[in-house]
Amino acid sequence: MPTEKVDTIIIGGGLSGIYAAYLLSRRNKSFIVLEARERVGGRILSPEHQGFCSDLGPSWYWPEIHPKMARLIQDLGLKGYRQFEEGRGRFESPVGAVRTVSGYVMEPLSWRLSGGMMALIRKLCEDIPENAIRLSHPVCKIEKKVAGALISVGELEKEPRTRFRANKVILALPPRLAAATILFDPDLSHNLTQAMLKIGTWMAGQAKFYALYEEPFWRQTGLSGQAFSERGPLGEIHDGSNDRRGPFGLTGFVGIPAVQRDQQQLLIEAILSQLAIIYGKPAAQPMAFFYQDWARERFTATRFDQPPMYEHPLYHPPAGQTCIWDGTIYFAGTETANQHGGYLEGALTAAERAVMNHIP
């Protein structure tokens, strides 16, 4: 079986992996990105309708506290716009009673990216050689060699489809996913493996929807689009509209656990019914509707991600290690960031650490 040789292999084509590739490309380093999916972006997913991209993964950034994101967006010539929050909110009680409540502005101020968060991925990819990104390349095994590592692509129980030999490996996957799906030879220490498995993957247990409309009828009645429900199936809703023009949208998160979301069509019908109860009959007839259950994405979630995550974890490098195997493998990915873990800012921070601090 032929083995392709390269200086650096990046495993994972989400924001952290693509940003690491972007940084290496600007330093004229040789690298290849191995992405298991048929697309780049990872948890960034922005399906398009009438020129508007609906974020079914991360959708906000906060310029006041996320300087790397703000600077990168500016440097790449992209534009952001404020999350719409003008007007009053809605609240649904456990018994289904809905009332109008005072709206509030989130602090710090939330921003959305024009073109959706995929615009950031696409712009970064413009500086990455096209043949450097290999889609549908799930890594199943990493073997330590005297110099560097041997990376196998395919399924563990079958003969590898292809192999790569690299001096350095940037592991831009959630640590839990890497520990659960990649065979390391020699074995990682018990403490490191347990630390990786205990780091919850952000958004991996979440499901998100996006409903698009020709008119912002909720705004016309003085509502901001914000709503919270103790009944469900949706727990949290926000205005997800385009900037200053249509289409206009409502978006948010399903509030029931992943194990109860096995009937997708029935769940979508329940979501539309709930939107009509909260915002009126027009809400049940969107011109486009998108739904994404991240808990059912095998290249995002493991079985350990099924229980709900009720608060934002304090993320950090697994077992305090930013690299292993004598500097052969470097951790990236937002869950390994010392600051802003779980956010897009953390993905940039971890990628920058892996490239700038460890790759000569």
Residue 123: CATH number of its domain: 3.50.50.60
Out of 267, 296, 325, pick the residue that ends a domain.
Answer: 296
Out of 248, 272, 296, pick the residue that ends a domain.
Answer: 296
- Residue 68 located in a structural domain: no
What total of structural domains would you count in the chain? 2
pLDDT in tens, 49-58: 999 999 999 9
- Residue 301 located in a structural domain: no
Alpha carbon 172 to chain centroid distance? 12
- Residue 354 located in a structural domain: yes
Q: What is the pLDDT of residue 37?
A: 98
- Residue 247 located in a structural domain: yes
Examine the domain organization and report whether 28 and 121 are in the same domain: yes
Examine the domain organization and report whether 177 and 189 are in the same domain: yes
How many whole angstroms separate alpha carbon 123 and alpha carbon 108? 26
Three-state DSSP at 184 gives: strand
Three-state DSSP at 351 gives: helix
Q: What is the pLDDT of residue 360?
A: 63
- Residue 303 located in a structural domain: no
Out of 250, 266, 296, pick the residue that ends a domain.
Answer: 296
Examine the domain organization and report whether 267 and 153 are in the same domain: no
| Residue 348 near residue 61 (C-beta atoms within 8 A) | no
Question: pLDDT of the chain along its 360 residues, tens only?
Answer: 779 999 999 999 999 999 999 999 999 999 999 999 999 999 999 999 999 999 999 999 999 999 999 999 999 999 999 999 999 999 999 999 999 999 989 999 999 999 999 999 999 999 999 899 999 999 999 999 999 999 999 987 778 889 999 999 999 999 999 999 999 999 999 999 999 999 999 999 999 999 999 999 999 999 999 999 999 999 999 999 999 899 999 999 999 999 999 999 999 999 999 999 999 999 999 999 999 999 999 999 999 998 888 789 999 999 999 999 999 999 999 999 999 999 999 999 999 999 987 666
Tokens of 35: 């992405």
Q: What is the pLDDT of residue 270?
A: 98
Examine the domain organization and report whether 172 and 223 are in the same domain: no
Examine the domain organization and report whether 215 and 191 are in the same domain: no
Q: What is the pLDDT of residue 310?
A: 79
What is the span of the domain harbouring residue 94? Answer: 48-60+83-113+205-296
Q: Map 34-60 to HEC letters.
A: ECCCCCCECCCCCCEECCEECCCCCCC
What DSSP string describes 152-177? EES-TTS--SEEEEEEEEEE-S-HHH
- Residue 74 located in a structural domain: no
